[in-house]
């Protein structure tokens, strides 16, 4: 039997039940989900499904990530609500492709873990499965494992196995209205040019769940916990001195009262220059290297090869000596006399992230 898999949160309990009902059936998992966006989230969900299938002893095959083809299929349906026609097209695509793979592998049965997801329409999935069964002769296995206390058991299993519990279905068009309704930053879509791993980013979650896998393989005890913290995202920032744009790097948690300010150096001590407005601090790359024990030749090198956030915060603490400070700290190639025009568009917000202890 080929089992189309959408994510480990939905698949693990579903696969356990299928194994119980079909003990003599060879199950093959097929991860085909081109709707998942961005690609980092896709890789994270595949990593977790791989981990889940390994625990269950189920072979896993990865389908193609043909996002562009999927986008063409749902064109014009971008603003439709979840469980609407866009989702139906998505179900069609994933089940049709899964059936083709089942035929290619010589299977006579197929099913999908989408059936257990509370955000998916079982009625639509059953109709699509029945239609494909009639067209191909492959038996569609429809099971409602949500029934009874299935959803509660599913949640317990997710916690028990430390599975990645994503907070959106995966589709960009579902994510956008969800974050707008929550009035939450859509930080899943941030991808710094520096490739710096930001707190509570998809890249940070990938690191965390890779570490989980390593601990599992070593047989070491661990637990994934959640922590509340102040998150930060920089949209854009730039500095001009005497109307001449200069390369600049803004340390994490840099903010100003509005998006623009200006001023002049009022005071300097130990290489740190204090502007006369908005609590802005400026230092040159030489001073930064001294504090960070690094050897950057210029600010551009820092921009494209920054420190880890944890190390950057340590440098910030050396400069500010105040863990609650959100003033702008800016690194330049050199600091010279003149009028500073600064543009900084950034946001701080309450957030929750996972940690391994």
How confident is the model at residue 42, as a pLDDT? 97
Q: Which two tokens stand for residue 85?
A: 């026609």
42 contacts 65 by C-beta, under 8 angstroms = yes
CA-closest candidate to residue 120, choices 38, 7, 233, 210 = 7
* Contact status, residue 281 vs residue 273, Cβ threshold 8 Å: yes
Q: Which single residue is written with the structure tokens 């903010």?
A: 255
Q: What is the pLDDT along the chain (357 residues), one digit of tens a residue?
A: 999 999 999 999 999 999 999 999 999 999 999 999 999 999 999 999 999 999 999 999 999 999 999 999 999 999 998 888 999 999 999 999 999 999 999 999 999 999 999 888 999 999 999 999 999 999 999 999 998 898 899 999 999 999 999 988 889 898 988 888 888 888 888 888 888 999 999 999 999 999 999 999 999 999 999 999 999 999 999 999 999 999 999 999 999 999 999 999 999 999 999 999 999 999 999 999 999 999 999 999 999 999 999 999 999 999 999 989 999 999 999 999 999 999 999 999 999 999 999
Kindly list the distances between the CA atom of residue 224 and the CA atoms of 164, 215, 227, in Å, as whole numbers in the listed order. Answer: 10, 12, 10
- Residues 6 or more apart in contact with residue 269 via CB below 8 angstroms: none
- What residue ranges of the chain are covered by domains with CATH 3.40.50.620? 2-166
What is the spatial distance between Cα 208 and Cα 199, in angstroms, rounded to a whole number?
11
The closest of 272, 232, 251 to 353, measured between CA atoms, is 232
Token readout for 8 is 């480990």
Q: Are 235 and 346 in contact (CB under 8 A)?
A: yes
Q: What pLDDT sits at residue 191?
A: 83
Place of tokens 């859509």: 186
Q: Does domain 2-166 have CATH number 3.10.330.10?
A: no
Helices (H) and strands (E) in the chain, counts: 11, 14
Size (the chain), residues: 357
At residue 20's C-alpha, the angle toward residues 17 and 22, to 5°, is 105
Per DSSP, the residues of 80-131 read SPTTSHHHHHHHHHHHHHHHHHHHHHT-SEEEEGGGG-TTS-HHHHHHHHHH
Cα–Cα distance, 55 to 332 (Å, whole number): 51
Q: Can you give the pLDDT at residue 210? A: 97
Measure CA 79 to chain center: 22
Residue 234 has a CB neighbour count (10 Å cut-off) of 18
């Amino acid at each position: 039997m080929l089992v189309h898999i959408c994510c480990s949160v939905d698949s693990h309990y579903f696969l356990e039940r299928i194994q119980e009902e079909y003990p003599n059936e060879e199950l093959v998992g097929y991860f085909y989900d081109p709707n998942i966006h961005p690609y980092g989230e896709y890789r994270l969900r595949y990593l977790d499904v791989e981990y889940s299938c390994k625990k269950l002893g189920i072979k896993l095959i990865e389908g193609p990530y043909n996002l562009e083809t999927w986008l063409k299929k749902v064109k014009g349906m971008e603003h439709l609500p979840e469980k609407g026609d866009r989702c139906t097209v998505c179900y069609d695509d994933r089940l049709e492709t899964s059936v083709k793979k089942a035929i290619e592998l010589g299977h006579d049965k197929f099913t999908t873990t989408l059936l257990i997801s509370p955000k998916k329409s079982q009625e639509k999935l059953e109709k699509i499965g029945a239609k494909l069964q009639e067209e191909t002769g492959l038996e569609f296995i429809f099971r409602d494992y949500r029934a009874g206390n299935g959803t509660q058991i599913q949640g317990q299993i997710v916690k028990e196995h430390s599975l990645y519990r994503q907070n959106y279905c995966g589709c960009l068009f579902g994510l956008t209205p969800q974050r707008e309704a929550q009035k939450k930053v859509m930080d899943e879509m941030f991808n710094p040019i520096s490739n710096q791993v930001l707190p509570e980013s998809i890249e940070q979650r990938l690191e965390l769940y890779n570490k989980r896998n390593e601990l599992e393989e070593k047989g070491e005890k661990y637990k994934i916990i959640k922590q509340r913290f102040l998150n930060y995202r920089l949209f854009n920032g730039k500095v001009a001195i005497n109307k001449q744009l200069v390369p600049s790097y803004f340390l994490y948690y840099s903010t100003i009262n509005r998006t623009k300010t200006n001023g002049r150096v009022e005071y300097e001590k130990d290489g740190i220059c204090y502007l006369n407005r908005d609590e802005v601090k400026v230092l040159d790359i030489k001073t930064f290297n001294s504090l960070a024990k690094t050897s950057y030749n210029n600010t551009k090198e820092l921009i494209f090869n920054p420190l880890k956030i944890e190390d950057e915060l340590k440098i910030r603490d050396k400069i500010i000596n105040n863990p609650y400070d959100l003033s702008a700290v800016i690194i330049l190639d050199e600091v010279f006399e003149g009028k500073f025009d600064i543009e900084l568009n950034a946001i701080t917000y309450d957030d929750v992230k996972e940690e391994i202890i």
